[in-house]
A and B are shown apart, each in its own frame.
Chain A
């Protein structure tokens, strides 16, 4: 039995705020979203330049709240766009810092997670460990899943690894089963949507959530008819950046209904708004189709379908999915995300030596 109390700081940078949390063992003691107003972020032309600014804000926040900074044994940050890696907890090192800072694998605010963990960790003391857990580029694909239909394109594993794995493990635990012995389809319903096939602890296939394929979501288009995309690129008169912004950040619900908020769309559906009903229904339809595809990936034998993320709070939306897929396997709904708990828990296990800390190369 571990009786000692271990304090862990969790850092999860988002577009316009940085979420920090202090955990003592499994319990959350403090949670704060540090807001970054437009005028402050507007000064930076690259996301990476926000590092020092966000670091100062985090340290100020800890200080202002009289939290015991000397107690923190580990800082764990959200993992960003790095090389394809296996699932697990990684110690921050030079190679990770380098790849998070470079835009070789893409530029995203999640890249700041590991860098903040490193920087804040150093400030808190030289024995403080810095980690990232399950970056979005965790890659456990089977060999088939990598093929598109052309050798110039690979299918990449980019999805909501951290939350999917956290929820899947929690679900397995609730059933007193081992995640590594189950076949599950996990659906993350956030501003992007990922639908993934978990086969004995490995995510062997998933739609590519960033700019690849799959269902549309509050802000992204998902799969599009390729021929029409090609025509649009050549004939619309728009620039590459305009088209990328339009499809990857202003597609989906935003494009059809003018809002990123699935909550708002849900409310409109409940007031019988026909446009909202059609588009929200189509989104559920596409999510269901992706679930069916992953069902085939798992040889049409599964232990269950898990639905998670913020939009899982919409009963209407979830029911639209359930009625299409319930014959495939039992459906379990876990609204919200468990990212922070999962990060803290893995860091705790790492400090106690219960899990292997992996080295990024």
Chain B
């Protein structure tokens, strides 16, 4: 019998599903994507109210698949919209739970990750609960925090988990420590973030939630400020509607009523001129953001790493690389594996490579 050690339970709640996985070290033992119907979720007013519902389903799923919970030593939950934190693993404590329940930035399914992880860990004999690299990881230089007016600050909100995982993978592959490299990492999913990684710190990144940067399948990115003010005072829309326009219903959704980049690419390839133009405009804006981040790194860039779902498209990747080819070598890491990225952070704790942080 194999030793019952180094087992990690990973819990990653998304808006309409909860992904769970059990790893032994980096080896996946069990993976499941539990889909929640709209009907099931519709009875809850707030995301936080889904806590018991999602937890029970997870436990049921684990027990019906004969997962030996007593072996679990780490329960790793997906982060959430908490206060800005350094990159790494954070122990779930009361303060963290408080902020996950009443997020300073708003509701998000990922807020449940740490809460459920903590609850399950408490019921197990050997387990501790953590979260790792939430979207609010903040390693900005002071220069990056300034907007153009003191009433507004630039914030660090991005795909920290995947960006960091890919950056570490690349560093390991070329056998140079991550904290000795200058990298531009581009996560291209429903939202797009372009991060400037300077010697292990993401010192600038476009604010991927509702701030700035390229448009993406679901988000507008930067908009002309005067126009946005005009829209707010037009009397035609509520604040909530406009914010929805910017984050969930912007970008490709606004132009095509579809957030499926593959579908738009197919349209472009089969001769739809509008689809081609807008799809290429999206790549154009991503390339511009890469150019901007190059100057953040004083134009000394060791590599540009393209990742996320859209990195599967060689067409899209080429559109970008044609524009930025002279900045640095480009490497493509298609897709993202949040579950594995979370497990890796757990392994680092096992190995003593990192010390879990205390959330203040």
Across-interface contacts of B155 in A (CB, < 8 A): 225
**A276-298, CB under 8 A of B: which get 1 and which 0?**
00110110011011111111110
- Complex formed: what's the CA distance from A148 to B221 in Å? 8
* Closest residue of A by beta carbon distance from B294: A292
User: Which of B150, B290, B295 is packed against the most chain A CB atoms within 10 Å?
Assistant: B295
From A143, A226, A285, A286, contact of B277 by CB (8 A): A143
User: Are B232's CB and A151's CB within 8 A?
Assistant: no
User: Are A213's CB and B281's CB within 8 A?
Assistant: no
A236 to chain B, nearest CB (A): 8
Across-interface contacts of A243 in B (CB, < 8 A): 229
Across-interface contacts of B28 in A (CB, < 8 A): none
- Complex formed: what's the CA distance from A239 to B211 in Å? 22
Across-interface contacts of B151 in A (CB, < 8 A): 232
- Complex formed: what's the CA distance from A33 to B285 in Å? 42
Across-interface contacts of B227 in A (CB, < 8 A): 152-153, 211-212
Partner-binding segment picked from B7-15, B71-79, B119-127, B321-329: B321-329
User: Are B292's CB and A221's CB within 8 A?
Assistant: no
The reply on B287 being an interface residue by CB < 8 A is yes
- Complex formed: what's the CA distance from A2 to B105 in Å? 69
Known: A213-B224, A300-B291. A226 touches B211 (CB 8 A): yes
**A314-346, CB under 8 A of B: which get 1 and which 0?**
000000000111111000000000000000000
Known: A152-B231, A292-B294. A227 touches B215 (CB 8 A): no
The reply on B152 being an interface residue by CB < 8 A is yes
The reply on A147 being an interface residue by CB < 8 A is yes
The reply on A255 being an interface residue by CB < 8 A is yes
User: Are A233's CB and B146's CB within 8 A?
Assistant: no
Within 8 A of B (CB), among A169-215: 208, 210-213, 215
The reply on A26 being an interface residue by CB < 8 A is no
* Closest residue of B by beta carbon distance from A296: B291
User: Are B225's CB and A296's CB within 8 A?
Assistant: no
Count residues on chain B whose CB falls below 8 Å from chain A CBs: 70
B39 to chain A, nearest CB (A): 30
Partner-binding segment picked from A39-47, A84-92, A244-252: A244-252
User: Are B290's CB and A296's CB within 8 A?
Assistant: yes
- Complex formed: what's the CA distance from A294 to B323 in Å? 10
The reply on B36 being an interface residue by CB < 8 A is no
User: Are A326's CB and B299's CB within 8 A?
Assistant: yes
User: Are A212's CB and B224's CB within 8 A?
Assistant: yes
* Closest residue of B by beta carbon distance from A222: B148
User: Are B246's CB and A324's CB within 8 A?
Assistant: no
B111 to chain A, nearest CB (A): 18
From B211, B323, B327, contact of A297 by CB (8 A): B323
The reply on B288 being an interface residue by CB < 8 A is yes
The reply on B254 being an interface residue by CB < 8 A is yes
Across-interface contacts of A291 in B (CB, < 8 A): 295
Known: A208-B224, A225-B210, A279-B146. A327 touches B250 (CB 8 A): no
Known: A150-B220, A223-B225, A327-B300. A293 touches B289 (CB 8 A): yes
The reply on A267 being an interface residue by CB < 8 A is no
The reply on A230 being an interface residue by CB < 8 A is yes
B194 to chain A, nearest CB (A): 11
The reply on B280 being an interface residue by CB < 8 A is yes
User: Are B323's CB and A226's CB within 8 A?
Assistant: no
A207 to chain B, nearest CB (A): 10
User: Are A293's CB and B148's CB within 8 A?
Assistant: no
* Closest residue of B by beta carbon distance from A146: B281
- Complex formed: what's the CA distance from A351 to B320 in Å? 46
User: Are A224's CB and B292's CB within 8 A?
Assistant: no
The reply on A229 being an interface residue by CB < 8 A is yes
From B211, B226, B294, contact of A227 by CB (8 A): B211
Across-interface contacts of A293 in B (CB, < 8 A): 288-289, 291-292
A132 to chain B, nearest CB (A): 24
From A153, A217, A239, A325, contact of B295 by CB (8 A): A325
* Closest residue of A by beta carbon distance from B231: A152
- Complex formed: what's the CA distance from A220 to B224 in Å? 13
- Complex formed: what's the CA distance from A241 to B311 in Å? 43
User: Which of A221, A231, A296, A326 is packed against the most chain B CB atoms within 10 Å?
Assistant: A296
The reply on A73 being an interface residue by CB < 8 A is no
The reply on A60 being an interface residue by CB < 8 A is no
Within 8 A of A (CB), among B151-199: 151-152, 154-155
User: Are A289's CB and B324's CB within 8 A?
Assistant: no
User: Are A290's CB and B154's CB within 8 A?
Assistant: no
Within 8 A of B (CB), among A72-117: none
- Complex formed: what's the CA distance from A56 to B322 in Å? 56
Across-interface contacts of A226 in B (CB, < 8 A): 210-212, 220, 222-223, 225, 228, 246
- Complex formed: what's the CA distance from A243 to B151 in Å? 11
B185 to chain A, nearest CB (A): 16
User: Are A149's CB and B210's CB within 8 A?
Assistant: no
User: Are A153's CB and B223's CB within 8 A?
Assistant: yes
Within 8 A of A (CB), among B226-253: 226-233, 239, 242-243, 245-247, 250-251
Known: A285-B143, A327-B299. A247 touches B220 (CB 8 A): no
User: Are A295's CB and B322's CB within 8 A?
Assistant: no
- Complex formed: what's the CA distance from A248 to B229 in Å? 11
- Complex formed: what's the CA distance from A311 to B21 in Å? 57
Known A-B contacts: A222-B148, A248-B226, A252-B148. Give 8 more (CB < 8 A).
Answer: A144-B280, A144-B281, A150-B245, A216-B149, A232-B152, A292-B293, A300-B324, A327-B300
Hey, which bits of chain B sit against chain A, CB under 8 A?
Answer: 142-144, 146-152, 154-155, 207, 209-212, 214-216, 219-233, 239, 242-243, 245-247, 250-251, 254-255, 277-278, 280-281, 284-285, 287-296, 298-300, 322-327
The 3 residue pairs across chains A and B that have the minimum distance between CB atoms = A149-B215, A211-B226, A216-B148
27 contacts between A and B (CB under 8 A): A149-B221, A149-B251, A149-B254, A150-B215, A151-B255, A153-B223, A213-B225, A224-B149, A224-B225, A227-B246, A228-B211, A230-B239, A230-B246, A243-B229, A244-B229, A251-B149, A255-B149, A255-B150, A281-B143, A285-B296, A288-B295, A289-B292, A294-B288, A296-B291, A297-B323, A300-B326, A328-B294
